[in-house]
Amino acid sequence: MLAPATPRAKGGFGQAVSDSLVMAQRNLIRMLRIPEVVIFGLIQPIMFVVLFSYVFGGSIELPGAGTDADAYREFLMGGIFAQTVTFATAGAGAGIAEDMDKGLIDRFRSLPMTRGAVLTGRTLADLVQTALTLVVLALVALLVGWRTHENLLKVLGGFGLLLLLGYAFTWIGALIGLSVRSPEAATSGGLVWLFPLTFLSNAFVPSQNMPSALRHVAEWNPFSATVQASRELFGNIPPGYPTADAWPMQHPVLASLLWSIVIIAVFRTLAVRRYKSATG
């Protein structure tokens, strides 16, 4: 008697989208069942908004605005928003590492689904959580005095670029999660490089105030491009603030879009390849 054939995924773009959405739903339900993860994920960015606004506001000089606390608060928010969405990297990596550690990935292999759906579903779920965090963070920022000075379309475009950067970085987290042996290592590996990336940028201080070598690094940092783009689209650049000579600072919206697309293309390819080798 012949053994029953193992079901196979039909393949194709439609199948990949359907499988990815199913996996995204699975991860969102899981997040809802552990609300403390979402709550604690909101506390840190809120603390950053409050502390940076009131501790550094009025003490950091901005070209074109001096030490005006209100101007710095508006200048700051693009950096806080960008830092928040990129820190989703650690959560993505830890979640995938946990699934690997518990053997869930092996169970998914037995299902008739496309291989990349597990990772795509996870990153889409993280994107939804990041969007929720960003909404709450924006409300807190409004309470401490942050305002936008452009039309609604530009403001939404700024948040769209932030979410795109966050989504791009979750693919880096996915690759890290597949490359380590425990969720704890994935969390550490997802954060250790993010701190120099975010602080060696224009997020919290003007890049013009940095030494020459560091200034060039900061101005070509993908993170800085998105920060500058969001400030431009929110209307949060002080009048008289000088524009750096580096191309990403001259064209921050285009640079942010290109950087995010390149990061997604490169790290999604590497993550899916790693997933196939880890479960093959």
CA distance 245 to 247: 6
Average pLDDT, rounded, for the chain: 84
In a domain, 250, yes or no: yes
Q: Amino acid identity of 117?
A: A
In a domain, 167, yes or no: yes
In a domain, 122, yes or no: yes
Higher pLDDT: 186 or 175? It is 175
In a domain, 24, yes or no: yes
Domain ranges, residue 213:
12-279
Could you tell me the two tokens for 160? 């769209």
In a domain, 2, yes or no: no
In a domain, 119, yes or no: yes
Only one residue has tokens 């940095």, namely 210
* Dihedral of alpha carbons 226, 231, 235, 241, sign: negative
Highest mean pLDDT: which range of 8-12, 113-117, 143-147, 154-158: 154-158
In a domain, 5, yes or no: no
**pLDDT tens sequence across 39-92:** 777 787 788 888 877 777 667 778 776 777 788 888 889 999 999 899 888 878
**pLDDT tens sequence across 39-54:** 777 787 788 888 877 7
Q: In this structure, are residues 110 and 97 in contact, taking their beta carbons and an 8 Å threshold?
A: no
In a domain, 164, yes or no: yes
| Total number of domains constituting the chain | 1
141: left (phi over 0), alpha (psi -120 to 50) or beta: alpha
CA distance 92 to 117: 14
CA distance 244 to 241: 10
Helix (H, G, I), strand (E, B) or coil at 38: helix
**pLDDT tens sequence across 227-256:** 999 999 999 988 878 888 899 999 999 999
Q: In this structure, are residues 105 and 99 in contact, taking their beta carbons and an 8 Å threshold?
A: yes
